[in-house]
């Protein structure tokens, strides 16, 4: 699709070096009409599925497509409310699919849904895929991993430097499709973007193998599409143990 002016976008997904199929899924979407675009802005989504017998592959695809449809169709007054509705719709859609296909019981997925409306950034997040903001020489992880290990770090029971190699670092405490409700993280207020800001979204297949500083360096040094390629290649050169997905959006301004 042709993007409206104001951003440069790159995205890439790769099965990695050890998996037989890709359980990651992503999308970028804009409303068709200019009126709806001014109200809804740009939607960027990434999901990393889990579950045996290709359950994760179904879960991530259902999540992304459900979030896209629900967000673009929402009549909610705010982006935050529309995103919350969209994740709830995705959660229910995954659970309904699992009920119809009992062999996929336990399927679920991480999800980050980001909206850029004018210069305002908001997002909804569940699981351990990540959203970063790269501004000047600094990189900030905007999302908090919803994992057992990060919970231990937050409680002071585990040192941050011990988390990276902990055997349970990939064990989630929340996911779409799992449990009765949606424990999504939504910021209380939007983040105001500045020209040249870079948003980087990725699954753990990338951030488990590439440091924050390396993510920022690649995003600053390359156009978004080239940066995605360089980062995926770097993760694969280090083993590529999982599927790898990344989206990079460079904010050029509102025009």
Task: List pLDDT tens digits, range 65-109.
Answer: 999 999 999 999 899 999 999 999 999 999 999 999 999 988 999
- Domain annotation for the chain: domains and CATH numbers: 7-251 (3.60.40.10)
Please state the pTM of the whole predicted model. Answer: 0.94
Nearest to 251 by CA among 190, 193, 206: 193
Question: Which residues fall within 8 angstroms of residue 121, CB to CB, at 6 or more apart?
Answer: 114, 115, 133, 190, 191, 192, 193, 199
Question: Which 3 state secondary structure label does DSSP give 76?
Answer: coil
CB atoms within 10 A of CB 255: 7
Mean pLDDT (whole number) for 1-8: 92
Give the integer Cα–Cα distance in Å for 148 and 155: 11
Q: Mean pLDDT check: name the lowest of 152-161, 197-206, 228-237.
A: 152-161
Task: List pLDDT tens digits, range 38-72.
Answer: 999 999 999 999 976 579 999 999 999 999 999 99
Q: Which residue has the higher pLDDT, 255 or 41?
A: 41
Mean pLDDT (whole number) for 206-230: 97
Strands of the chain, DSSP E: 7-14, 24-29, 42-50, 108-109, 111-117, 120-126, 130-135, 138-141, 191-192, 198-202, 244-251
Is residue 124 scored above 70 in pLDDT?
yes
Look over the chain and give the mean of its residue pLDDT values, rounded to a whole number: 93
CB atoms within 10 A of CB 110: 29
Is residue 127 scored above 80 in pLDDT?
yes
Task: List pLDDT tens digits, range 132-186.
Answer: 999 998 999 999 998 887 777 777 777 776 677 777 777 888 899 998 888 888 9
User: Which residues does residue 14 pair with via DSSP β-bridges, in sequence order?
Assistant: 244
Give the integer Cα–Cα distance in Å for 150 and 160: 8
pLDDT of 68 reads 98
């Amino acid at each position: 699709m042709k993007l409206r002016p104001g951003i440069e976008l790159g995205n890439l997904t790769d099965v990695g070096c050890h998996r037989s199929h890709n359980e990651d899924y992503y999308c970028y979407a804009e409303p068709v009409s200019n009126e709806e675009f001014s109200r809804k802005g740009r939607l960027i989504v990434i999901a990393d599925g889990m579950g045996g017998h290709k359950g994760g592959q179904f879960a991530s695809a259902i999540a992304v497509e459900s979030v896209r449809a629900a967000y673009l169709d929402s009549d909610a007054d705010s982006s935050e409310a529309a995103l919350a509705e969209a994740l709830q719709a995705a959660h229910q859609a995954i659970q309904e699919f699992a009920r119809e296909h009992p062999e996929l019981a336990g399927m679920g997925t991480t999800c980050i849904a980001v909206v850029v409306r004018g210069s305002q950034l908001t997002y909804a997040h569940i699981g351990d895929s990540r959203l970063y903001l790269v501004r000047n020489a600094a990189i900030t992880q905007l999302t908090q991993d919803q994992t057992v290990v990060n919970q231990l770090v937050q409680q002071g029971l585990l040192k941050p430097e011990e988390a990276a190699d902990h055997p349970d670092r990939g064990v989630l405490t929340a996911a779409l499709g799992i449990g009765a409700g949606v424990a999504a993280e939504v910021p209380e207020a939007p983040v105001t973007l500045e020209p040249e800001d870079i948003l980087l979204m990725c699954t753990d297949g990338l951030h488990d193998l590439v440091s924050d500083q390396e993510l920022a360096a690649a995003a600053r040094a390359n156009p978004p599409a080239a940066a995605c390629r360089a980062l995926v290649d770097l993760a694969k050169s280090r083993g590529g143990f999982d599927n790898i997905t990344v989206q990079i959006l460079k904010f050029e301004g509102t025009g």
